[in-house]
Structure 1
Amino acid sequence: MKVRLLPLYFTERNERETAEYSEQMERLREYYGDVAEFLPEQPVGSPVPQEADAIVFPQMIFAAFRHDDELKSIQLPMVVLTSRFGTVEMWDWEIVTYLRDLGLTVFSPYSIEMGKTVLRALGVKRSLKEGAKFLVFQDSPGEGMQANIFKRFYWWEKQSTQSMEETFGCKLIYRSWKELNENARNISDDEARKVSADWNIQQEGVSEACFLKAVKIYIAVKRVIDEIGDVAGVGANCLNESFYSDTTPCLAWNMLFERDNIIFACEGDTLTLLSTYILYRSMEKPMMMTNLYTFLVGMAALAHEKIDKFPDIDDPDNHALGVHCGYFGLTARPFCSKWTVRPKVLAIVNDDAIMVDCELPKGPITLAKIYPGFKKLSIIKAEIEDYVQYPGSDCRNGALIRYADGHKVMDELCSHHSLIISGNVVPQLRQVARVFGWQTVEL
């Protein structure tokens, strides 16, 4: 997924500048060789090879103001990495501004992390364009255990699938959730024990029989993935069509991420799957999806989680509970400060199903998701203040989330499903949005 960068130079450079250019290229290969492939250097005005994803300028000189037509003819984004520290040189801000005024898309990273975010995002964009494959298991979208809820979601619509494929170039591959579970039932306990022998899963209250059922889902999904090949992300309509399954795929999704580096999303939500793929592959920050139950919604949220009141706190209007499937939600084990497999909570899934009780570290987070329509990115700077428990409810352990303006969130929030990303990554998200041409909606 490395981005292919074309280094350009100005022919007006002198002998000293030519030597400095070569030195800078060596630095850039050292700083960014893990995320970028550098094509042979070319002068400004020469034909741009088809395989290039973006232009990199390791050096800027006065000539940048004198090649408007040649520069405007380049249809690729440009990245300016001119300092010996692998970032933009402050003396180049005027040139960057001049190029942007010509209508060019120019990135000027001011840290290595920012530079890698931009370059990874450019690589992700190419991987999607080349047909990245997302695998979703479902049979009857919208119908099922909670049809009154699920039929309202855009991701079930053919329009959503078609638009996603046309916009990004990715491929959504659908397979039967019912058939997958039938195949899982035919897997022996001994095979499941062998496959999971080195997983070292912390669990409480889960019988071996229930654990092995979850392992068998992993084995069955892995077989389909191996058959298809090069699957980038996976999901299933696991809640609404839970009647087809003896368990839930939570453990399988985690192990596919740990062992095969495959992204996952819950409930077959393809917008979340796409958001996770783009944002995680671009930033490589811990992230997960959960439901946002904003305090301002009141009983409409409380009733769904079977709790009688929100936590008694100051400033409730600017808070939400993050809860999904009885706990905080599902995220990959390497991201968590706590990660334990427990028996299921929700009544709509099989009695033998499992769920993961996990926690991200408390502190700054950023909420994000691509809007339906694929033209905007929601960004909310927030914080996990604490975790709260309601025994006997559908919120056994949820996150207490605070943001700046709850009323603005209510006006602009694009989905009840939101990605939670550890840390304040608003600046990085802005850069990813620029790579994909999205408008940012910052709340």
Structure 2
Amino acid sequence: MMLDRPSALDALFLYLEDSRVGLHIAATAVFEGPVPDDEQIRARWTQLTTTDPRYRQVLRRTVLDLRRPRWVERGGFDIDYHLRRTALPAPGGTAQLERTVGQLVSQRLDPDRPLWESCTIEGLQGGRWAVLVKVHHSLVDGLGGMALLARLLDAGHPAPPPPPSAALLRRVLAAAAAPPRVAAALAGSAGGLLRYATSLWPTDPTSLTGPLGRARRYRTLTVDCADVRTVRAALGGTVNDVVLTMVANAFRTLLTERGERPGTHAVRCLVPVATRTAAQADEGANRVSVVLVHLPVDCGDPATVHAVIRARMTAAKTSGEAAAGERGFAAADLVPAPVFAAAVGALRRIPQRVVTTVTTNVPGPRAPQTLLGRPMVALFPFVPIADRIRVSVAVSSYVDHLHFGITCDRATVPDADVFVAGLAAGLAGLVTAAAG
């Protein structure tokens, strides 16, 4: 079933975009072997866009936003416009790849064309090359973007066309239910809604938030999953708990290096979480909501930070906060389109002081993958920054490694390397604590 209108949540990403902020997600996959030529890349994308019409459509807003935007076919679809190629300057190392990716993700997608691009990047050290896939957030979420990449790789080729977004379909169907049903669902999450309300106090003012420029700075980090397993075996918790502990240490390091006090309420992190129940185990859709959690950047002991984060994340997920967020998304679909668009416009004019950063963990392939017979060796995700958030973190697993993609505002975060060093030191501290 191909839906011609996005949900309120997906339309939100379109409404929030402006000349300084592009709300697309991306992933950079690194490969070994000879670089494919243009015809090989074009053939793979041609099949994907032929089987899934969404990648040939544009999202049109209506006059005065009287109705939600609508997906429509764009006449004269030119796939070559969406396929780019570039080469790294010598020596083609990590720094050159990060700089090039930062430049590519700084460019907004053309709203008059289908909202995706693919760029083949040549000239990586060791005879490697990469593909950067960039897709607007109104078209896919992180999991949907990973599914798109999977279909591009050899293991998913050819593949039957999936729904444009199973999660989107679920939200639209929920919105079609009678308002009393949605009201009852929201009432059932009263505790979670209360927790949300009490978590929306402004954070302490720091240099971590503020106005954004147009350009982005991008950094990467790769860690061994064996270290994460060691920490979990000794200290308990989830992969997300380990990641958030690393992020907390990175922000503590960044604030300290800037001469700022890492206070108790300095960093509040928005974290996407799964809300699937046992009864939904066989569903193809991913149920995802968000929680807000204060990172204890005031503490320098890794084991203590991990324990605090573990407790806070457990409380957030068991209190109904995540479920309240998901039902809130469904309820937003009941709001008339012009009211919703006007509300978003009004909120954009109010400086956001609630969320300091976003950390998202999107599981990637567990088995080795190839593209046109070339082995994939790394997968670095990208999540956008917006609404005064100057640093965000995305994590993707691939085989036995976690790959971090850190997005920063280029003008106000010249010290991104300090943040990356803090991430690595955070994991090293956890490994040491686990061994003790």
Q: TM-score range by the shorter chain?
A: under 0.3
TM normalised by structure 1 equals: 0.24
User: Higher Cα Rg: structure 1 or 2?
Assistant: 1
